[in-house]
Chain A
Amino acid sequence: MAIRAARSWISGIVFLGGVAVVVSVSAVAFRDMHRDRPIYPGPGVTRVGMLSAYLGDLAGTGLDTEVYYLEGQTPGATVLVLGGTHPNEPAAFLAAVLLVENAVVERGRLIVVPRANRSGFTCTDPGEGHPQVYEIPTPGGPREFTFGSRATNPVHQWPDPVVYVNRLGQQLTGSEVRNLNRSYPGSPTGYPTEQLGHAITELIRAESPALSIDLHEASPEYPVINAIVAHPRALGLAVEAAMLLELDGMNISVEVSPVGLRGLSHREWGDNTDTLALLLETSNPAQGRLRGRTDAALVLTGQDKFYVRAGERNALYVRFTDRGWPLEERVGRHLQALVSLVEVYSAQHRQTPLVMQGVPQLRELRRDGLGAVLQPPR
């Protein structure tokens, strides 16, 4: 009896020791996700602030994030660009990073929030097998970025309710309570992600951007892809910009923000503020359900044989060939569409345009890659 008890104690201690080792070793990788990979402000950045300036309660939390202001010499239109609403959509984040590191505003003002849901950059989604980081080579050495989660890290907001009923009464599955793009217009006293949504809405109210553009990606089987989603007030602008892009050889569709789908940026920014709300989508196989091996190479090259097969049987909403959808192509599409929207707006508002230089374009990115326009690591 005593021997059995001793054995059971020993096996218990050995098991707990094993658990401690596994936890300690794996914790190093998980902790490393909490380290912000640097963004190097370029010559156009005149000021860097924090989002908590618009909602004090965010200060010191894992959801507070940098806001980059690129101000021109003369007044003009203000444009807000959000990247990283969903940190598992890297082209949206990198397009915003390239703006911060390269754009120079001559007239008007550009406000960029590259890590809109900064908390989501500190974890990956369990079960999805995503890489924690990916690297982009630059002439000065590789730049490393984290591949995050679609939603706020549960370390910062947990537990989820069974059903999330957002502020506008929309019923969603519980985990959507951590999805920034279901939380708008947000609430100063709600869940942390709703507070984040509120802070961004307050930023729009305080800074009065004429255009507010939320950058995203979607899986190739998702119907709204390679598209501009526009609030009804921004529809004319989106259609004109899409026509310009088509003339330039870039296929893009325009979708109207659905009335029945509440809590999304393109709907709530437009309904609750004066801004013209738009959302851009590109095609990202790394977040799709049909994807094969999930690693950093898939994130960078966007090549996947299962998607090629799905494309052959017309099951996708984008053309998918062996070439895939490389990251530079997706980032380039975002920036090209952004510039086009700004150009159309500026042409319509000649007294208050936004004039900017240095934004990398699709052709340049196709030719030289992302490494040529990202600043080298310091």
Chain B
Amino acid sequence: MGLLNVFFPEAWVFIAMVGTFLLTVFLLRQPVAVSLLAGAVVGAAIAGAGFPLRHFVEGTFVYLDTILIISCAMLFMRGIQASGLLETVAHHLVRTFRNWPTVLLAVMTVFAMSAGMVTGSSTAAVLTTGAIAAQVFASMGLGKARVGALIAMAGLLGMIAPPVNIPVMIIGGGVDMPYEGFNLPLLLLTVPTAILASLWIGWRGIRRVGAESQLPPSVHGAYGWRLYLPLLLFVGLVVAERSFPTAFPSLGLPIAFLAAYLIAPLCGRRFNPLKTARQAVHDALPILGILAGVGMFIQIMTLTGARGMIVEAFAGLPRSLFYGSIAVSMPLFGAVSAFGSASILGVPFLLNLLGSGVIVTASALSLFASLGDLVPPTALAGLFAAQVVGEKNYVRVLARCAIPALFVIAVAVASLMGAPTLERLLFRSAAPSRGLFLGGVALGLAGAVLGLEWAKRRRGSREGA
């Protein structure tokens, strides 16, 4: 069957959808969400599906859960910002590590990742622990774009880090592979990568925090331990649900965020919860609209066959181009959603790679999918990181993420290619060899951080002299 016969007319539909979207955004200067709707309407019409109102409406529900999580996470973040909790936590952290800026950079990166590790959501990570880490990074002298890039990268790698990695669960679900044995490879793929990415983005710009006045302000003295209750409540609800799934009711992330938000005005600086909520929703509205529009766009792509055309085009590339096609297509499709990329492309790719270290392969595929959170128009991690740091142009944040993202791709490609070896080393080698390998990685990482710390001090003392 000739290529033209296979990929057309679906390719025309896709070109028309993307073309309409771009024209509406750039020429007619309409919001991204409206432009996505326009692309979907044109695509359906060109494919002969008319005006399928039911499909447009159904498409807006694709990301309903994500929309709710984002709305409530924004409330939570604005709430703990208004109560003074964000600045206070940052104050204590900076004070503790003020003489070790490189170590602080590495520690805060892992801290920023932690919410993503527990919730499996980069948005939740950026808007919670990321927001706290942002205060610390800012007080170390980093500019908005760099701080945004740091928490965006930490958020998306936190989403992939264990114990909760939703893309791997989705990919595994597609091939009946239980979510077991992933902790070690995921930890290995994410934590060193995140720390090295942070060092790349932030190390040159960080400085020791000298005077007390340079520290973020603390309101701990005024409110005491009560101040931390919203954060503790949120962590408690999430951890309880994860630890006791049969005994503790499943509230879901939105309710956990809301509950924490509701007690925030009673725990720190007073603020009007209604006014703050209105502001938070106002801030989140553009991205919520984009998610609804993307859902609609995807629904029409699937209806018209454009989605299948893209999947087959990438999955059907010759073996020599296969890893390249994964490295390009999964992050690009992740622009729609990292989870969507895992489901639509991750499953066929894993099926193609079955038998070659399947656990490490699935972990590496999830790493590719996560990068979708940096790809416009959604670019969830970049967008929210920009909001957290007050950077109006989120492209500046994304630009700072470009090299670290390429590094993530390199790590993922290397893991894919070396999956059988890595899996043998992690699961089937003798304990001493495994210990030697893992110890070597840990020591190398610690050596890199401490070496850079030493270099920073030397440079600082030279500049001081």
Residues from chain A with a CB closer than 8 A to the CB of B303 are 129, 293-295
Task: Contact check, B305 vs A172: say whether CB atoms are below 8 A apart.
Answer: no
Task: Contact check, B59 vs A126: say whether CB atoms are below 8 A apart.
Answer: yes
Task: Contact check, A289 vs B311: say whether CB atoms are below 8 A apart.
Answer: yes
Contact pick for B176, options A162, A187, A261, A292, CB 8 Å: A261
* A312 contacts the other chain (CB 8 A): yes
Of all chain B residues, which has the CB nearest A264? B176
The number of residues on chain A lying at the interface, defined by a beta carbon within 8 Å of a beta carbon of chain B, is 54
Task: Contact check, A127 vs B295: say whether CB atoms are below 8 A apart.
Answer: yes
Within 8 A of B (CB), among A115-140: 124, 126-129, 132
Within 8 A of A (CB), among B168-199: 169-170, 173-176, 178-180
Contact pick for B166, options A159, A173, A223, A291, CB 8 Å: A173
Rounded to whole Å, the gap between the CB of B296 and the closest CB of chain A is 10
Task: Contact check, A293 vs B10: say whether CB atoms are below 8 A apart.
Answer: yes
Task: Contact check, B6 vs A309: say whether CB atoms are below 8 A apart.
Answer: yes
By secondary structure, the B interface counts as: helix
Task: Contact check, B308 vs A163: say whether CB atoms are below 8 A apart.
Answer: no
Rounded to whole Å, the gap between the CB of B321 and the closest CB of chain A is 13
* B150 contacts the other chain (CB 8 A): no
Within 8 A of B (CB), among A1-30: 22-23, 25-26, 29-30
Task: Contact check, B1 vs A308: say whether CB atoms are below 8 A apart.
Answer: yes
Give the number of A-B contacts (CB < 8 Å).
Answer: 159
Task: Contact check, A163 vs B59: say whether CB atoms are below 8 A apart.
Answer: no
**Among B105-113, B248-256, B386-394, B399-407, the stretch in contact with A:** B248-256
* A171 contacts the other chain (CB 8 A): yes
Task: Contact check, A173 vs B170: say whether CB atoms are below 8 A apart.
Answer: yes
Within 8 A of B (CB), among A198-240: 221-224
Task: Contact check, A306 vs B308: say whether CB atoms are below 8 A apart.
Answer: yes
Task: Contact check, A306 vs B169: say whether CB atoms are below 8 A apart.
Answer: no
Rounded to whole Å, the gap between the CB of B254 and the closest CB of chain A is 7
Rounded to whole Å, the gap between the CB of A238 and the closest CB of chain B is 18
Rounded to whole Å, the gap between the CB of B252 and the closest CB of chain A is 4
Task: Contact check, A291 vs B1: say whether CB atoms are below 8 A apart.
Answer: no
Residues from chain A with a CB closer than 8 A to the CB of B164 are 162-163
Task: Contact check, B1 vs A289: say whether CB atoms are below 8 A apart.
Answer: no
Task: Contact check, A171 vs B169: say whether CB atoms are below 8 A apart.
Answer: yes
* A305 contacts the other chain (CB 8 A): yes
**Among B82-90, B135-143, B200-208, B345-353, the stretch in contact with A:** B345-353
**Among B239-247, B267-275, B282-290, B451-459, the stretch in contact with A:** B239-247
* B100 contacts the other chain (CB 8 A): no
Rounded to whole Å, the gap between the CB of A97 and the closest CB of chain B is 25
Residues from chain B with a CB closer than 8 A to the CB of A308 are 1
Given the complex of chains A and B, what is the CA–CA distance between A304 and B347 in angstroms?
Answer: 19
Rounded to whole Å, the gap between the CB of B342 and the closest CB of chain A is 9
Rounded to whole Å, the gap between the CB of A264 and the closest CB of chain B is 8
Given the complex of chains A and B, what is the CA–CA distance between A159 and B255 in angstroms?
Answer: 10
Given the complex of chains A and B, what is the CA–CA distance between A315 and B245 in angstroms?
Answer: 38
* B422 contacts the other chain (CB 8 A): no
* A373 contacts the other chain (CB 8 A): no
* B61 contacts the other chain (CB 8 A): yes
Within 8 A of B (CB), among A134-162: 159-162
Given A173-B169, A289-B344, are A261 and B178 neighbors across the interface (CB < 8 Å)?
yes
Within 8 A of A (CB), among B335-374: 340, 343-345, 347-348, 351-352, 354
* B53 contacts the other chain (CB 8 A): yes
Of all chain B residues, which has the CB nearest A316? B351
Residues from chain B with a CB closer than 8 A to the CB of A174 are 166
* B47 contacts the other chain (CB 8 A): yes
Rounded to whole Å, the gap between the CB of B320 and the closest CB of chain A is 14
Residues from chain A with a CB closer than 8 A to the CB of B119 are 162
Task: Contact check, A160 vs B252: say whether CB atoms are below 8 A apart.
Answer: yes
Given the complex of chains A and B, what is the CA–CA distance between A128 and B344 in angstroms?
Answer: 11
Rounded to whole Å, the gap between the CB of A124 and the closest CB of chain B is 7
Rounded to whole Å, the gap between the CB of A281 and the closest CB of chain B is 11
Binary A-proximity of B49-60 (CB < 8 A = 1, otherwise 0):
000011111110
Rounded to whole Å, the gap between the CB of A34 and the closest CB of chain B is 14
* A310 contacts the other chain (CB 8 A): yes
Contact pick for B316, options A161, A262, A309, CB 8 Å: A309
* A170 contacts the other chain (CB 8 A): yes
Task: Contact check, A163 vs B169: say whether CB atoms are below 8 A apart.
Answer: yes
Within 8 A of B (CB), among A238-284: 258, 260-262
Of all chain A residues, which has the CB nearest B343? A289
Q: Which residues of A contact B (CB under 8 A)?
A: 22-23, 25-26, 29-30, 124, 126-129, 132, 159-165, 167, 170-174, 176-177, 187, 190-191, 221-224, 258, 260-262, 289-295, 304-306, 308-310, 312-313, 315
Subset of 29 A-B contacts with CB under 8 Å: A126-B58, A127-B58, A127-B59, A129-B301, A159-B250, A160-B250, A161-B252, A162-B238, A162-B252, A165-B246, A170-B178, A171-B179, A172-B179, A173-B169, A173-B173, A221-B351, A222-B174, A223-B175, A260-B178, A289-B308, A289-B311, A290-B348, A292-B305, A293-B304, A305-B5, A306-B305, A306-B308, A309-B1, A309-B316
Known: A126-B58, A163-B169, A289-B344. 13 other contacts (CB 8 A): A23-B57, A29-B53, A128-B299, A160-B252, A162-B120, A162-B121, A170-B179, A173-B170, A261-B178, A293-B305, A305-B6, A309-B316, A312-B1
- 8 residue pairs, one from A and one from B, having the closest CB atoms: A292-B305, A129-B303, A129-B302, A173-B169, A165-B245, A293-B305, A161-B250, A127-B62
